[in-house]
A and B are shown apart, each in its own frame.
Chain A
């Protein structure tokens, strides 16, 4: 069963349709990537899940039942555009936001002590937000997002504004929360982190879902049948079954980039063919990066759109 389902969501703003029949199903206890170029409708979808806005059509189910107002207490949301009350003290700020999420003051205090300790910033409660560096503010913001130990975490561009050290810390926290049973929705432009973290993704472009599924499978589907082959002896020539599109001389032997011509041929057969001619030192299929897939898919749908017009 899916933890969260958004079925056939339509959201119409005055002049444009932000989401058009978008369906997203998020499995429990995984990291789900929500991708798409700026203005594709990701934030609108996230806001609908957060009940900040309501869809015109479609429904959002959580654990199989429709979303209700008290569900905000199980959701932690880190928006892309972040902010805190600048004049407020760190401690008050954290406690206030946690209480708004339904924690009692006592529980909020305990949770705050835990998280401040974890981020090694105990004793900062009395400082005002405006006195902190930007990175520190981000940490506080992150703490306010996870204070109430939510089952569903929604991060919109979580790594923007973090230096690499803190970004890594954040990544570790996200994985740890996943391991503890949380479900995570993760919206980003950073495709490297998608490959690293996400189990499944949905790519939204111009209000439509253009790509959806498991990351590993998507990369398989989009493979270009390219291979990186290193040989120690002998040379390869293009033939009916594959062509050589790149060649590089190594200290011992050559490195080739091949493309299969016959895509029905298995990799084993290909290796067999090569071994007949040369001694293989290395063989690797080149899978497309998520970045390439993103650009390709978004570019394609842009092209389609142009033709339709």
Chain B
């Protein structure tokens, strides 16, 4: 009876029950979300406090131009101002002290340099923008009015053309699929990064786990009960399963978030474009800001759903899982062989360098393949087994012909199985060798040792 299931069971359960695994699985998505949203949230926080900006107009031309915003409260006075005056006021160290003074010394249309901002602390760029943009908008209107052309404002607005291009991919069966280049690239990139991360993370776990068994000396007891190859395969499989479990949990999280987001914009769920247009027409007449915003949000949501629909999700997921498993077996075998050959962490460096190099190369090849998914780089790198899992994932959303997919998969699985066999030969010798760090030459000799 094979003992592999028993090994897998133990290795899997001990890993999944570890506190670190549970924490990582739950916290990672939260940390990811936090990393994205925390800066946005934090930047909004500063808006709680309104700052006083004193506008001192020496010309009297610019009354009522500045409107209060969430962050800034403007006061307007007509008169003169000297820096000394501000210094005197500054010493009072009062809450009501203006954050900045805006001094207008002349007609800004004639002299754009006639405005100065004084402050005791360096003002933020945000503040500067708030001050200048309101004035610029006003000056622009003034300038346009000075041309004395009726309706010029409307004409200018109409001349702002926003091009919206639909990209449609013609399928082999003649069907038209609406696509989005950005969406396709994003999906490809995300998948590539996920595969890259998992290869490094879980491959590394295989290596350290093999090394731990070796340095613990438990391995000799183990191999007196099971074949070294069984032990290695059991370990690689169980760690791979742990990876898939984690991925599965994250996908469930993601789907959950997506669904609850969908429920939030519940109107857009399941609405087809024609209905959408009707609604836009209906609300368009009213033209209030709220409905406009709503329709645009609904439209974006709709678009995302439609674009997602344009990609063959089933094919994508199946390919993802298959390439993930193939690539994982390939790299995990290498990592297992390295882990078996060395006695301690520092000795792994020499062997890790080439592997890291290859994986990073694959990642870059993937990123550049997104620019040109049918170019020679993409083509070759999606056939070479060490890069294909990463590069192929970029290409698949763009559409890859079936024969390429199958060929790439066959090469990947062929070499993964071959490498697992070679790694097994190195592993069974390596785990019992202590002391000197072996050279590549010695490791190749090990492959030829009689089992």
Q: Which A residues fall within an 8 A CB radius of B?
A: 13-14, 47, 50-56, 69, 72, 75, 77, 79, 81-88, 92, 96-97, 99-102, 141, 144
Determine the residue in chain B with the shortest Cβ distance to A82. B217
| Cβ 8 A contact of A77, one of B221, B227, B434, B445 | B221
| Residue contact B432 to A52, C-beta cutoff 8 Å | yes
| Residue contact B445 to A84, C-beta cutoff 8 Å | no
Contacts of B219 in A (CB 8 A): 83
| Residue contact A72 to B225, C-beta cutoff 8 Å | yes
Q: How distant is the Cα of A84 from the Cα of B221 in the complex, in angstroms?
A: 8
| Cβ 8 A contact of B221, one of A87, A92, A144 | A144
Q: What would 10 more interface pairs be, CB under 8 Å, given A54-B450, A82-B217?
A: A14-B442, A53-B451, A55-B450, A77-B221, A79-B221, A83-B219, A83-B220, A99-B6, A100-B6, A102-B1
Q: How distant is the Cα of A111 from the Cα of B202 in the complex, in angstroms?
A: 36
Determine the residue in chain B with the shortest Cβ distance to A69. B227
Number of A-B contacts (CB under 8 A): 65
Interface string of B194-229 (1 = CB under 8 A from A): 000000000000000000000011111111111110
Secondary structure at the A interface, as helix, strand, loop or mixed, is: loop
Contacts of B451 in A (CB 8 A): 53-54
- B87 on interface, CB distance cutoff 8 Å: no
In the assembled complex, how far is the CB of residue B322 from the closest CB belonging to chain A, in whole angstroms? 31
- B3 on interface, CB distance cutoff 8 Å: yes
Contacts of A13 in B (CB 8 A): 449
| Residue contact B216 to A100, C-beta cutoff 8 Å | no
| Residue contact B1 to A83, C-beta cutoff 8 Å | no
Determine the residue in chain A with the shortest Cβ distance to B228. A52
Q: Which B residues fall within an 8 A CB radius of A?
A: 1, 3, 6-7, 10, 14, 216-228, 432, 434, 442, 445, 449-451
| Residue contact A72 to B445, C-beta cutoff 8 Å | no
| Residue contact B221 to A97, C-beta cutoff 8 Å | yes
Determine the residue in chain A with the shortest Cβ distance to B18. A87
Contacts of B450 in A (CB 8 A): 54-56
In the assembled complex, how far is the CB of residue A106 from the closest CB belonging to chain B, in whole angstroms? 15
| Residue contact A52 to B218, C-beta cutoff 8 Å | no
Contacts of A50 in B (CB 8 A): 223-224
- Beyond A14-B445, A54-B451, is A100–B225 a contact (Cβ under 8 Å)? yes
Contacts of B216 in A (CB 8 A): 83-86
| Residue contact B217 to A79, C-beta cutoff 8 Å | yes
In the assembled complex, how far is the CB of residue B10 from the closest CB belonging to chain A, in whole angstroms? 6
Contacts of A47 in B (CB 8 A): 432
- Beyond A47-B432, A84-B216, A99-B6, is A52–B221 a contact (Cβ under 8 Å)? no
| Residue contact B224 to A77, C-beta cutoff 8 Å | yes
| Residue contact A81 to B217, C-beta cutoff 8 Å | yes
In the assembled complex, how far is the CB of residue A187 from the closest CB belonging to chain B, in whole angstroms? 13
| Residue contact A100 to B222, C-beta cutoff 8 Å | yes
Contacts of A92 in B (CB 8 A): 10
| Residue contact A83 to B225, C-beta cutoff 8 Å | no
| Residue contact B14 to A87, C-beta cutoff 8 Å | yes
| Residue contact A82 to B221, C-beta cutoff 8 Å | yes
Q: How distant is the Cα of A301 from the Cα of B64 in the complex, in angstroms?
A: 111
Q: How distant is the Cα of A47 from the Cα of B449 in the complex, in angstroms?
A: 15
Determine the residue in chain B with the shortest Cβ distance to A96. B10
